[in-house]
Amino acid sequence: MSITVETVARIASLARVRMSEAELARMAPELSGILDWVEQLEEVDTSSVEPMAAVIPNHLRLREDVVDADPLTGGGQRDAVLANAPMAEHGFFAVPKVIE
């Protein structure tokens, strides 16, 4: 299966990665090559198996339902959370205006 430049442009848009025409043209044959190669998986008869998401048996746990069970993630960390923000104002993350 051949991936067209238009398809790469659509995926790049879904993935929110801006790409130039030259980059799209370079990426299209690379992605085609990789996807052609992974398509050999079609040969495998998987009619009797369930898709595997977890490889080692484990059970899901619930933490105790108390405030600040883990102080690091429990809240009251505004300044630490904002410390690495490219732009923070008035105790919030700042982004370009999204409403006209």
Partner 1 sequence: MMADLTDLGVKAIRDGVASGDFTAREVAEAFNAAVAGAAALNSFIVTTPDRALQAAEAVDADRSAGKPLGRLAGVPIGMKDLFCTDGVQTTAASHILEGFIPRYESTVSRKLWEAGCGMLGKLNLDQFAMGSSNETSYFGNVTSPWRKADGANTGMSPGGSSGGSSAAVAARIAPAATGTDTGGSIRQPAAFTGICGIKPTYGRCSRWGVVAFASSLDQAGPMARSVEDCALMLEAMAGFDPKDATSLDLPVPDWSAALDADLRGKKVGIPREYRMDGTDAEILEQWERGKQWLRDAGAEIVDISLPHTKYALPAYYIIAPAEASSNLARYDGVRYGLRDLPERGGLQDMYAQTRAAGFGDEVKRRVLIGTYVLSAGFYDAYYTQAQKVRALVARDFEQAWTQCDVILAPTTPTASFPLGSLSDDPLTMYLNDVFAVPASLAGLPAMSVPSGLNGEGLPLGLQLIGRPLGEQGVLNAALAIEQRAKFAARPDRWW
Contact positions vs partner 1 (CB under 8 A): 3, 7-8, 11-19, 27, 30-31, 33-35, 37-44, 46, 49-56, 58, 60-61, 63, 70, 72-73, 80-81, 83-87, 93, 95-98
Q: Shortest distance, CB of residue 100 to partner 1, whole angstroms?
A: 10
CA atoms within 13 A on the CB side of 87: 3
Tell me whether residue 41 or residue 67 sits nearer to partner 1 (CB atom): 41
What are the backbone dihedrals phi and psi of residue 92, each rounded to the nearest 5 degrees, phi first?
A: -130, 160
- Nearest-CA neighbor of 29 among 10, 55, 1? 1
